[in-house]
Amino acid sequence: MATETPPPAKPRAPLPSTEEFTEVQQSAEFGELRRSHRSFAFPLTIGFIAWYLLYVLLSNYAGGFMGTKVAGNVNVALVLGLAQFLTTFLIAWWYARHAAADLDPKAEAIKSRMEGGA
């Protein structure tokens, strides 16, 4: 059996200098990328933490309410506990959509400019 030799590796572009990184970090384009990320991530993080703490507080101090039967042996605590999982997955899905639509194109433009492709 003959073995094929792999194709030669592409030459790597030189890495950007510290000054170039600093220049990009201070650019309006990078600032917009950071604003897009923060305006999405921070409110959702705060909201989810508040929702989680509400669940914990209700579990500790509102046992009667949390023990209220909803259907059969399913009570409010179980429903809210499962809703914690649901909101986790919904937030992850929503963030993935946001990143693909808003963050990734901006980051790719910055990256290609830094790598000399623009």
The 10s digit of each residue's pLDDT in 90-102 is 999 999 999 999 9
Is residue 116 within 8 A of residue 13, CB to CB? The reply is: yes
52: enclosing H helix or E strand: helix 28-61
Percent of the chain residues topping a pLDDT of 70: 93
What confidence score (pLDDT) does residue 2 get?
Answer: 63
- pLDDT, one tens digit per residue, over 27-84 is 999 999 999 999 999 999 999 999 999 999 999 999 999 999 999 999 999 999 999 9
Judged on CB neighbours under 10 Å (0-12, 13-18, 19+), 112 is exposed
Domain-by-domain residue ranges, the chain?
32-114
CA 105 to chain centre: 15
Q: Tally Cβ neighbours within 10 Å of residue 118.
A: 9
- For residue 47, give both structure tokens: 């909201």
The rounded distance, in Å, linking the Cα atoms of 58 and 52 is 10
Whole-angstrom Cα distance, residue 36 to residue 38?
Answer: 6
